[in-house]
Amino acid sequence: MRFLYLLTTIDRRIIYGLVFLATTLPFLFKKSPSVQITPEVEKVYRFIDKLPPGSRIVLSADYGPSSMPEIQPMLYGICKHAFSRGHKVYLLTHWNYQGLIAGQDGIMSAVRDFNEEIKKGKHPERTDTLLEGTDYVSWGFRPGGMAVMLLLNSDIRMAFSRDVRGQLLDSLPAMQGFRNLRDLGTVENPRGILIGLEAGFTGDVWVIYGQAQGRYPMALGSTAVVTPSYYTYLEAGQIIGILGGLKGAAEYEQLAGFKGQASIGMLSQSIVHILVVVLIFLGNLGFFLARRK
């Protein structure tokens, strides 16, 4: 009984050490376990997969360095999938400038890896490598939140007249025939999709101000903190799917057929979750033993 009681009064630094070990040691096994695919992630994957080639995937990178471990793998996975299906990718940021750099880094690494795969012949339908301005465009960063979203519904060039390199959007092949977000079509007749990669509550703003007026297909990829609040939009049909946290990113990677950073991290995630639940059990054990006295 004394041993049981000692288990319930562990010093916080020992707990920190246990959490650190539970996170670090699984990496050394270099295993990427399979994850169970949830319907909300599969819907996003199937939607992008079924879009006609040349469709438009607009990514709103509304996150920062503190959310990169969860969201960056989503962005990478979506870009790789989109490029493999011949879709065009457009990046914008309006929440925080850090999303612009993180988003650009993610797209550039997907472009680099995809171009390597083209050179190795893994995509026989493509002979030329991906080009900025033709296959992907980065619109840049504009503060203004809902104002930017509403402007994009009427005319993209009113919010972003040039891309992040300073080139006029009208001069870019990828922007021909793309006037506003309504050109993404509707859920019944899609010609693209907007995916908000969210760390805060900008996802709510996108749905309420952007999608509600524009009626274009939309999905959300978010940190696990804000994911629960997006299920209301999923059930109401305002978004077609959610990629929630590192698990959502790992599911997307599994569907897309590669093991990236998210899949590698899932073993650590499992072990440390089990540790936290066991710690909660030990804490309650102490609580019940103390009440017995």
Partner 1 sequence: MNIWELIGIWFAALLTFAVFSFLYRDNPVYKWAEHLFVGVSAALGVYAALEQSIVPSVREALAFPGVFKFITWIAVFLGALILFKLEALATYLPNLTFLSRYPIAFVTGMGVGLTLVNVVNGYLFPQTQATFLPLFNIQGADWLTLLNNWIIVLGVVFALMYFFFSAQYKGKLGAVLQVGITFLMVAFGAMFGYTVMARLSLLIGRIYFLLHDWLHII
Partner 2 sequence: MFRAPVWLVFIVGLFMASAFFIPVDPFPMMQTWALKWDVIISAFALAVGIDSLVMHHIRRVQRRQNVLYSGTLLVGFWVTIAWGAFAWWRYGGPFATRSTFLWLFRYIVVPMDATMFSLLAFFIASAAYRAFRARNFSSSLLLLSAGIVMLGRVPFGDWAAAPIFVAFALLLAFYFLRVFRQYEGWGRSTRMVVGILFLAVGIILLWPIGMGGQLFPAFRFVVHSVPHLASWIMEVPQMAARRGIDLGISLGSLAFALRVLVGIERGYMR
Position 276, amino acid? V
Q: How far is the CB of 117 from partner 2 (least distance, A)?
A: 21
43, 47, 86, 101: which one binds partner 2 (CB under 8 A):
101
18 binds partner 1 (CB under 8 A): no
Q: How far is the CB of 9 from partner 2 (least distance, A)?
A: 10
How many chain residues interact with partner 1 (CB under 8 A)?
54
30 binds partner 1 (CB under 8 A): yes
1, 3, 12, 188: which one binds partner 2 (CB under 8 A):
12
**Among candidate residues 54, 64, 58, 136, the one with its CA nearest the CA of residue 97:** 64
List Cβ neighbours of 244 (8 Å cut-off, separation of 6 or more): 40, 41, 222, 224, 227, 230
* Contact of residue 282 among partner 1, partner 2, none (CB under 5-8 Å per partner type): partner 2
Residues from 51 through 80 that contact partner 1 (CB under 8 A): 66-70
46, 85, 187, 285: which one binds partner 2 (CB under 8 A):
285
37 binds partner 2 (CB under 8 A): no
Concatenated DSSP letters of 57-109: EEEEEE--GGGHHHHHHHHHHHHHHHHHTT-EEEEEE-S-HHHHHHHHHHHHH
Q: What's the gap between Cα 131 and its chain centre?
A: 23
How many chain residues interact with partner 2 (CB under 8 A)?
72
* Contact of residue 5 among partner 2, partner 1, none (CB under 5-8 Å per partner type): none
Cα–Cα distance for residue pair 264/272, rounded to 1 Å: 14
Q: What's the gap between Cα 168 and its chain centre?
A: 28
> Would residue 76 be called left, alpha or beta, if left means φ above 0 and alpha means ψ between -120 and 50 degrees?
alpha
CA dihedral (273, 275, 278, 282) positive or negative: negative
Interacting residues toward partner 1 by CB under 8 A: 13, 16, 19-20, 23-24, 27-28, 30, 66-70, 97-98, 100, 140-143, 146-147, 150, 161-162, 207-209, 211-213, 223-225, 227-228, 232, 235-238, 244-247, 261, 264-265, 268-269, 272-273, 276
